[in-house]
Amino acid sequence: MGNNNINAGGAQVYRASRPGEWVRKGTTGYCDLVRNAQTGQLAELYSIPVDKRISREEDLRRYELRRNQPNIVRVLQVEKEQSQQICQGQEFIRVKTEHIPKRLSEVEGLSHEEGLYVFQQALLGYKAISQFQGPLTIN
């Protein structure tokens, strides 16, 4: 298996899973749901292509930011994916995030107070990201 832990400015989010550490529990249609066998924590698992336009260190710094910011979906773990696509020139990483049980797209209506709260949290998340990497465009 090898050790795919690296030190990217102290990034603790990048580490290989131990065998049996995470157990697949199902799918949401856009990601797999996995549960930590030791803690019982439910997480979402995504397979994401590596963005070759930025350095691995910069990419890991971004995931480390998401591990520590309260207003951004929390990243629990990032690891290199051992997959067939690597042979085709595309490298993937596996990203585990906190489980979000309900998406805004699934909510039929929000009260005025709930809408303001969502907007406030989105602005706080945007502020954290822009302070980390400078001005950015939301697309």
Q: Is the pLDDT score of 11 beyond 70?
A: no
Residue, of 66 and 137, whose pLDDT is higher: 66
Using a 10 angstrom Cβ sphere, with 0-12 exposed, 13-18 middle and 19 or more buried, the burial of residue 76 is buried
The answer to which of 6-20, 22-36, 38-52, 113-127 has the lowest mean pLDDT is 6-20
Determine the residue type at 60.
Answer: L
Q: Is the pLDDT score of 87 beyond 60?
A: no
Question: Is 121 in a helix, a strand, or coil?
Answer: helix
Domain boundaries, given as residue ranges, for the chain: 1-101, 105-139
- What is the rounded distance in angstroms from the CA atom of residue 31 to the CA atom of residue 45? 6
Q: Is the pLDDT score of 115 beyond 80?
A: yes
> In 10 A of CB 109, how many CB atoms?
6
- What is the rounded distance in angstroms from the CA atom of residue 87 to the CA atom of residue 78? 21
What pLDDT, on a 0 to 100 scale, did the predictor assign at position 56?
Answer: 86
CATH 3.30.200.20 fits 1-101, yes or no: yes
Q: For the chain, what's the residue count? A: 139
Tell me which H or E stretch contains 110: none
- Nearest C-alpha neighbor of 42 from the set 30, 28, 25, 27: 25
Question: Per-residue confidence at 8, pLDDT binned at 50, 70, 90?
Answer: very low
Task: Using the Cα atoms of residue 55, residue 59, residue 60 and residue 65 in order, give the sign of their dihedral.
Answer: positive
The pTM is what?
0.75
